[in-house]
Amino acid sequence: MTRRLRLAIPNKGRLVEPTVQLLKDAGLVFEAGERALVARVQNFDLDILFVRTNDIVEFIADGVAELGITGLDLVAEAGRDVAQLRLLGYGRCRLTAAVPNDSPYKCAADLAGLRVATSHMSLTKRYFAERNIAVDVVPVSGAAEVAPRLGLAEAIVDLVSTGSTMVVNGLRPIEEVFESEAVLLANPAALRDKPAVLASFETMLGATLAARDRKYLMMNAPEEKAEELEALLPGLESPSVIPLARKGMIAIHAVVEADAVWSLLPRLKAAGASGILILPIEKLVS
Ligand code: AMP
């Protein structure tokens, strides 16, 4: 008997909440208990393994899990053979080289001959090696931002999302080393052996993410306003135009970017639309 499919996701840290939310929004039914290591998905042939964010790539590369979600930085750092199925749009951050505010260094080349503290050894070494800048990369297991103050290094390379941790620690960013976000990964052999089921999982997450960014708009308008309104509604494809029972009136339906809705409404009204409805979209497969 073949075992159930396994998806490895983070058990701690900043990727947990958005990952669990995405899986729930995708319609998977499971209990994400505080200390549970494995959750059985009730409506999909899948077990969810909760593991350390840093271990997820190894789990997938070794075939312990067919699928997994973690940060792109950790995939690049591990350098293992895993397939990237889809970027997920959350957990965005930048691996950034920074120096103390009062130091004279302005770019990566200025760090030649100096020490750089980081917990992202491979990415940092690769970045400087590719640019032929000889630096001494000092490994730290966390809290790289205190390394300059402790006299461990002249610069650091660390992950930044808002930049506030750097500011609090008196650091100034000088170069972007790597851009990261959460990513859906697969074991390459599993992708060859079970392409259909892995593809259906990937489509499920993709459709959930696509739906989040869009709204379904419905409105009525006099027939002669159709062209003007269509021009305002690019949507996915062309909007649907449906005749109404009342002669000379039409309904227009369109899928629009969620961020554009509020600026669109006054323009639709000015162009003759009335009775405008804004509806959420559950899933969108394009
Ligand atoms: P964790 O240490 O478990 O919270 O997860 C670290 C992972 O979260 C990193 O490897 C990144 O992929 C991602 N991440 C997103 N934003 C940040 C940030 N501001 N600092 C550190 N990691 C971040």
* Residue among 15, 176, 178 to mutate when testing ligand 1 (max atoms within 8 A of CB): 15
In a domain, 285, yes or no: no
Domain boundary among 155, 179, 203: 179
Give the domain extent around 43: 5-90+181-211
Give nearest CA residue, ligand 1 atom 4: 13
Same domain for 113 and 163?
Answer: yes
pLDDT tens-digit map of 71-118: 999 999 999 999 999 999 999 999 999 999 999 999 999 999 999 999
Give nearest CA residue, ligand 1 atom 14: 91
Same domain for 188 and 137?
Answer: no
Same domain for 86 and 191?
Answer: yes
Tell me the average pLDDT of the chain: 94
Q: Distance from the CA of 74 to the center of ligand 1, in angstroms?
A: 9
Q: In which band, very low, low, confident or very high, does the pLDDT at 238 lie, cut at 50, 70 and 90?
A: confident
**Residue 79, pLDDT score:** 93
Q: Is the pLDDT confidence value at 8 over 90?
A: yes
Q: What is the mean pLDDT of residues 111-131?
A: 97
Task: Give the CATH number of the domain where residue 71 resides.
Answer: 3.40.190.10
Same domain for 59 and 191?
Answer: yes
Ligand 1 atom, smallest distance to 14 CA: 4
Domain boundary among 179, 200, 234: 179
Count of structural domains, the chain: 3
Give nearest CA residue, ligand 1 atom 19: 161
Q: Is the pLDDT confidence value at 235 over 70?
A: no
Q: In which band, very low, low, confident or very high, does the pLDDT at 147 lie, cut at 50, 70 and 90?
A: very high
Q: In which band, very low, low, confident or very high, does the pLDDT at 175 lie, cut at 50, 70 and 90?
A: very high
Give nearest CA residue, ligand 1 atom 21: 159
In a domain, 286, yes or no: no
| DSSP secondary structure string for all residues of the chain | -PPPEEEEEESSSTTHHHHHHHHHHTT------SS-SEEE-TTSSEEEEEE-GGGHHHHHHTTS-SEEEEEHHHHHHHT---EEEEE-S-S-EEEEEEEETTS---SGGGGTTSEEEES-HHHHHHHHHHTT---EEEE-SS-GGGTTTTTS-SEEEEEESSSHHHHHTTEEEEEEEEEE-EEEEE-HHHHHH-HHHHHHHHHHHHHHHHHHTEEEEEEEEEGGGHHHHHHH---SSSPEEEE-SSTTEEEEEEEEEGGGHHHHHHHHHHTT-EEEEEEE-S----
**Residue 254, pLDDT score:** 94
Q: Distance from the CA of 69 to the center of ligand 1, in angstroms?
A: 12
pLDDT tens-digit map of 15-26: 999 999 999 999
**Residue 236, pLDDT score:** 66
Q: Is the pLDDT confidence value at 148 over 80?
A: yes
